[in-house]
Structure 1
Amino acid sequence: MLLYKLWRSFVKEILLLKRDIGGIVIIFVMPLLLIITITLIQDSTFKNLEGSKIPIIFIDNDKSEVSKNIKQELESSKSFELLTNFTEKSAQDAVFGGDYQMAIVIPKNLTKDINSNIDSKVQTIVSSFGLESDSSAVKKNVSKAQDIHLYFDPATNIGFKNNVMNAVNKMVFEIENKKIYKAFQDQLGTTENLAENKNLISFKEITPKKGKTDVMPNSVQHNVPAWALFAIFFIVVPLSINLVKEKSQGTSVRVRISPTPYFIHILGKTFTYLIICVIQFLLMVAVGIYLFPYMDLPQFDVTGKMFQLIVVTIFAGLAAIGFGVLLGTVADTQEQSAPFGATSVVVLAAVGGIWVPVFLMPEFMQTIAKFSPMNWGLNAYYDIILRNSGIGGIAKEITFLFLFYVAMVAISLFYERKQNAV
């Protein structure tokens, strides 16, 4: 008998949703458009697409060895397209005006000054060991250090700016090292080519492997779970609106006076919207598997992970439904539930790491993120997709999501009973 009442409640929710076909289409179409747009935009941060070079202004006032080496390194990076037909003043105006991301200006006599400074320092060191050196020549050869001028568009991302500055510093450092080796070689008369010595310490990234192939993270692995989670929580808006409609149309009164317990009414909504959440996620996965490869994006790989992903989706959907039920129970009008629901989902997404990775947030925001249901769901998805965890590895996150649902529904039932107590 209880199952029959639950079934009838489920049918009632389906009939309500059929009256708002446009809203249901938006629930499914909006997340798909969002995931396609965001993934296309962010894909360049995960891989260097062929032909996607950033145009930067390069002004060579030195026209000698050091500047030529810097230019060669920039060109060989395959990330920049160098523009040279500028003066420093025109380059400054173009960059500060937003026409270009940056400009690099190599000063005059840079190579000459570096050589003289290195020679003087090497002579000083050699003379300290008691070897012959012309001390007057040492002082005479000292030159003031030259500055390479870097101009950045004021709107340039700080991460891009830091990366470029570090790359230029590394290039100059390596050039100086080779020249120092060469200077010592000349002073000491050694025949060994010290300038050709390689670094004594190097870095090697160890990545996860699938068979013999390195598994490299890509934009699809990050965006599909993140925006699927955002879409799942966005059902808070239609769910809360439907609950408010029931109150304004008198449906909730008929539900309360019927012999069916009120929690059956809530369970009916839970099963209905849970199916919508799973369909949303499956559509996202289908886009990642079948559509993205045709858009020159990596294919979303769910091999051996689909069951775990569905489990996370179910528990994330429960958390979203619980929040929607609470909002619809507390709100008195659609004007309250709709904007508050949409805004709260965006806030939860921001705090949960959908927009900005949690590790980039201030410390107090990282603490707050630990209490966000979106953060629990996102970590569970990442554990499965990127860290190859099983159900045991995500047990904590799905437990938190389920407890969040139970707490939201319990508060809703308590509030409903208190509001209608005679």
Structure 2
Amino acid sequence: MLLYKLWRSFMKEVLLLKRDIGGIVIIFVMPLLLIITITLIQDSTFKNLEGSKIPIIFIDHDKSEVSKNIKSELENSKTFQLLTGFNEKSAQEAVFSGDYQMAIVIPENLTKDLNSNIESKVQTIVSSFGLESDSVKTKTEAPKARDIHLYFDPATNAGFKNSVMNSVNKMVFEIENKKIYKAFQDQLGTSEKLDQNKNLISFKEITPQKGEMDVMPNSVQHNVPAWTLFAIFFIVVPLSINLVKEKSQGTSVRARISPTPYFVHILGKTFTYLIICIIQFLLMVAVGIYLFPYMDLPAFDVSGKMFQLIIVTLFAGLAAIGFGVLLGTIADTQEQSAPFGATSVVVLAAIGGIWVPVFLMPEFMQTIARFSPMNWGLNAYYDIILRNSGIGGIARELAFLLLFYIATVSVSIFYEKKQNAI
């Protein structure tokens, strides 16, 4: 008998959705458009950054070894297009007005002063060890160090500034090291040759592997789970609206006076919208697997991970349904539930790392993100897709999502009983 009542409650929800074409469009079509648009924008932006060069102004007052090395390194970086024909004043005006992102000005006599500084310091060191040779020259006072001027557009991103300054510092540091080594060779009269292109320490990135191939994250692997989760939580809007409609049309009154317990109606809604969540997920995955390759995007690889992803979808759907039931129970009108539901989902997405990665947020926001159900779901998706975790590896996130559903539904039932108590 209880199963029959649950079935009738499920069919009621299906009929309500069939009458709401706009809600169906929001639930299924909008997330698909969103994931295609966002992924295309992010992927094309990434490709453009790879294939294009940033124009920067390069002014060389030194015109000698060091400045030529810096210029050569910048040109070989495949990141910058060097523009000449400016003086320092015109370059400063062009950059500060926003025409160009940056300018590099190499000062006069940079190479000469650098050589003199190194020679003076090496002579001092060699003399302190009593290793003077015929090649040691009379000690001279080291000239004052010169600065390479970097001008940045005030609107330039701080990360870009730091990246450029670190690159220039690295180039100058390498040039200085080679010159210091060469100066010691000359002072000590050694004939040992310096392999200037060989680093004693290098970095090797170790990535997860599938067979003999590296598994590299791409825009599709990040966007499909993120926007699937956003779509799942957006069911809060139609679900809360339907609950408000039931109150305004008297359906909830008939449900309360019927012999069917109120939690059965909640379970009916839960099963209905869980099916919707699974369909949303399958549509998103289908777009990632079959449509994205035709749009010059990487295919979404779910081989061996489909079962785990569906489990995460079910638990994320439970959390979204619980939130929608709570909102629909507390709200009195559609004007309250619809805008608040949409806004709260966007806020939860922002807090949970859908829009901006959590690690880029301020520390206090990172703490807040830990309490967002979207963050739990997103971490579970990423653990499976990018970190190759199993169900055991995401048990904590699944438990949080389930507890969120139980808590929100319990509060809804308690609130409903209190409101209708005689």
TM bin, normalised by shorter chain, reads: over 0.9
2:329 is aligned to 329
Corresponding position: 1:138 with 2:148: no
Cα separation, 2, equivalents of 1:45 and 1:118: 44
Q: Alpha carbons of 1:295 and 1:73: their partners in 2 closer, same or farther (altered >3 Å)?
A: farther
Corresponding position: 1:169 with 2:157: no
User: What does residue range 170-209 of structure 1 map to in structure 2 within 5 Å?
Assistant: 170-194=170-194, 196=196, 198-209=198-209
The CA RMSD over aligned residues, in Å, is: 2.2
- 8 Å CA contact 2:244–2:334 kept in 1: the answer is yes
Q: Alpha carbons of 1:94 and 1:37: their partners in 2 closer, same or farther (altered >3 Å)?
A: farther
2:284 is aligned to 284
- 8 Å CA contact 1:127–1:133 kept in 2: the answer is no
Q: Secondary structure at the residue paired with 2:156?
A: coil
User: Deviation of residue 209 (structure 1)?
Assistant: 1.0
Question: Residue by residue, what CA displacement relative to the aligned partner does 1:117-175 show, whole Å, maximum 9, x if unpaired?
Answer: 111111221222221589995334x2221211222222222222212211111111111
- 8 Å CA contact 2:39–2:223 kept in 1: the answer is yes
Q: Secondary structure at the residue paired with 2:104?
A: strand
Q: Alpha carbons of 1:300 and 1:334: their partners in 2 closer, same or farther (altered >3 Å)?
A: same
User: What does residue range 66-145 of structure 1 map to in structure 2 within 5 Å?
Assistant: 66-130=66-130, 131-132=132-133, 137-140=138-141, 142-145=142-145
Cα separation, 2, equivalents of 1:217 and 1:298: 10
User: Deviation of residue 84 (structure 1)?
Assistant: 2.3
Question: Residue by residue, what CA displacement relative to the aligned partner does 1:171-200 show, whole Å, maximum 9, x if unpaired?
Answer: 111111111111112222221122526222
Aligned residue identity for 1:396: R
Aligned residue identity for 1:334: Q
- 8 Å CA contact 1:126–1:133 kept in 2: the answer is no
1:374 is aligned to 374
User: Deviation of residue 350 (structure 1)?
Assistant: 2.1
**Residue-pair matches, total:** 421
Q: Secondary structure at the residue paired with 1:81?
A: strand
User: Deviation of residue 233 (structure 1)?
Assistant: 0.9
1:239 is aligned to 239
2:421 is aligned to 421
- 8 Å CA contact 1:123–1:133 kept in 2: the answer is no
User: What does residue range 217-366 of structure 1 map to in structure 2 within 5 Å?
Assistant: 217-366=217-366
2:25 is aligned to 25
- 8 Å CA contact 1:106–1:149 kept in 2: the answer is yes
Question: Residue by residue, what CA displacement relative to the aligned partner does 1:389-412 show, whole Å, maximum 9, x if unpaired?
Answer: 111111121111111111111110
1:34 is aligned to 34
Q: TM-score, normalised by structure 2?
A: 0.93
- 8 Å CA contact 1:243–1:329 kept in 2: the answer is yes
Cα separation, 2, equivalents of 1:250 and 1:84: 76
Q: Secondary structure at the residue paired with 1:139?
A: coil
Q: TM-score, normalised by structure 1?
A: 0.93
- 8 Å CA contact 1:369–1:375 kept in 2: the answer is yes
Question: Residue by residue, what CA displacement relative to the aligned partner does 1:226-248 show, whole Å, maximum 9, x if unpaired?
Answer: 12111111111121111112112
- 8 Å CA contact 2:220–2:298 kept in 1: the answer is yes
User: Deviation of residue 103 (structure 1)?
Assistant: 2.1
User: Deviation of residue 46 (structure 1)?
Assistant: 6.7
Cα separation, 2, equivalents of 1:94 and 1:238: 53
Cα separation, 2, equivalents of 1:103 and 1:275: 57
Aligned residue identity for 1:198: K
Q: Alpha carbons of 1:55 and 1:29: their partners in 2 closer, same or farther (altered >3 Å)?
A: farther
User: What does residue range 392-403 of structure 1 map to in structure 2 within 5 Å?
Assistant: 392-403=392-403
Cα separation, 2, equivalents of 1:65 and 1:234: 61
Cα separation, 2, equivalents of 1:344 and 1:23: 18
- 8 Å CA contact 2:135–2:186 kept in 1: the answer is no
2:387 is aligned to 387
User: Deviation of residue 45 (structure 1)?
Assistant: 8.0
Cα separation, 1, equivalents of 2:200 and 2:350: 43
Aligned residue identity for 2:74: L
Cα separation, 1, equivalents of 2:71 and 2:151: 16
Q: Secondary structure at the residue paired with 2:231?
A: helix
Q: Alpha carbons of 1:295 and 1:182: their partners in 2 closer, same or farther (altered >3 Å)?
A: farther
Q: Alpha carbons of 1:233 and 1:107: their partners in 2 closer, same or farther (altered >3 Å)?
A: same
Question: Residue by residue, what CA displacement relative to the aligned partner does 1:247-306 show, whole Å, maximum 9, x if unpaired?
Answer: 122221122222322212111211221122112222221222222223332221111001
Q: Alpha carbons of 1:40 and 1:84: their partners in 2 closer, same or farther (altered >3 Å)?
A: farther
Cα separation, 1, equivalents of 2:64 and 2:294: 47
Question: Residue by residue, what CA displacement relative to the aligned partner does 1:43-96 show, whole Å, maximum 9, x if unpaired?
Answer: 378778652322222222222221221122122222222222333233323322
In structure 1, the gaps of 5 or more residues are none
Aligned residue identity for 1:138: K
Aligned residue identity for 2:229: L
- 8 Å CA contact 2:288–2:300 kept in 1: the answer is yes
Q: Alpha carbons of 1:292 and 1:84: their partners in 2 closer, same or farther (altered >3 Å)?
A: farther
The worse-fitting range, judged by mean Cα deviation, of 61-70 and 91-100 is 91-100
Cα separation, 2, equivalents of 1:307 and 1:85: 62
The worse-fitting range, judged by mean Cα deviation, of 379-388 and 33-42 is 33-42
- 8 Å CA contact 1:46–1:217 kept in 2: the answer is no
- 8 Å CA contact 2:133–2:188 kept in 1: the answer is no
1:63 is aligned to 63
User: Deviation of residue 327 (structure 1)?
Assistant: 0.5
In structure 2, the gaps of 5 or more residues are none
Q: Secondary structure at the residue paired with 1:138?
A: coil
User: Deviation of residue 384 (structure 1)?
Assistant: 0.5
